[in-house]
Amino acid sequence: MRYKLLGKSGLRVSELCLGTMTFGETWGWGASKVESKKMFELFAKEGGNFIDTSVNYTDGTAEEFLGDFLKADRDHFVVATKYTLTKSDDTDPNGGGNSRKNMMKSVERSLKHLNTDHIDIYYLHMWDYMTPVEEVIRGLDDLVRQGKVNYVAFSDTPDYIVAEANTRADLMGWSRFIGMQIPYSLLDRAVERSIIPMAKHWDMAVLPWGLLEAGILTGKFLKKVKDSTRINQKELKLREKSMNIVKEVQKISEETGKPMSQVAINWVKQGPNAQMIPILGARSAKQLKDNMGVLDWKLTDEQWQRLDEVSAIDMGFPHGFLEGNRNIFGATHELIDNHRV
């Protein structure tokens, strides 16, 4: 395992992050405490120090398991957790959301679950479209000043909200946001239109989840589309594209002798558009070990490009309108150093 500075910070994290949404069987699926500990110990043995969880994962069980596992060497690990979500049957009107009230209540719950006096990275989990941006960033900055949180970050939030938050933070001298957690894979590249460029602009690390699209990119569902008469042409086209992507992953898997899952993860991990630190989720130590095999090899530039081309999406406006537009620079177009364009 190698280490990276997380976004615009001095925090050193492993090049892979261990996701813990599968820690606990409270939701009717996931891993037992014994299996969860095996995954934690395997990740740590390989040099992993970056762990991701949330106050609501398996109704708090994930944080409780992790708190127990961390007892021996808490300071060695970079622990990230999140606030926003709650139980669907919680009748407290302030039991969820981005408000300062829920933030303060949630951070205390997480500290108790994790059996620690501080959280290394605290995420806003999902934007609620209700809470003022300034309420969020001031509240998070207060947690940093109180020593309960070291760094702050966003997850699953519109790019314009994150951009405003970082602008306000810079202007007010508050804690800026150093990471952006998003769904990203060969089958879901929508975030390339605005969120990834925004993260790169603000020097934020990108922490992608959903790398294998619920196992589709492992090849376990690989088969021809049947009974296409029951779906419309748009759906058929989308299914055909997805199938072509999975088949290309399969080809490269055969070329390299590596599992399809590792091919798909390495495409994300090696992406040139921003700093990528993939979050690995697994239900067993064996599954996690298989996925961590990405540490042992890399896609060639040619293989990465093939996957990039087969999975490419229409970027839409303003990308196509601006990229390569010679009129922006006039007659001096060829004389301008355009390494940043």
Across the 341 residues of the chain, what is the mean pLDDT of every consecutive 10-residue run? 96 98 94 98 98 96 98 96 87 93 97 98 98 98 98 98 98 97 97 97 97 90 53 61 94 97 98 94 96 97 98 92 78 64 45
Residue 224 near residue 290 (C-beta atoms within 8 A): no
Q: Tell me the domain boundaries of the chain.
A: 3-335
Q: How far apart are CA 253 and CA 173, in angstroms?
A: 48
Which pLDDT score is estimated for 239? 82
Residues taking part in catalysis = 57
301-310 vs 233-256: helix axis angle to the nearest 10?
170
Residue 122 near residue 146 (C-beta atoms within 8 A): no
Phi, psi (deg, nearest 5) at residue 123: -95, 145
Tokens, residue 114: 């994790």
CATH architecture, range 3-335 = Alpha-Beta Barrel (3.20)
Q: What is the pTM for the complete model shown?
A: 0.91
Which pLDDT score is estimated for 341? 45
Which pLDDT score is estimated for 236? 55
Q: Which residue has the tokens 């405003």?
A: 164
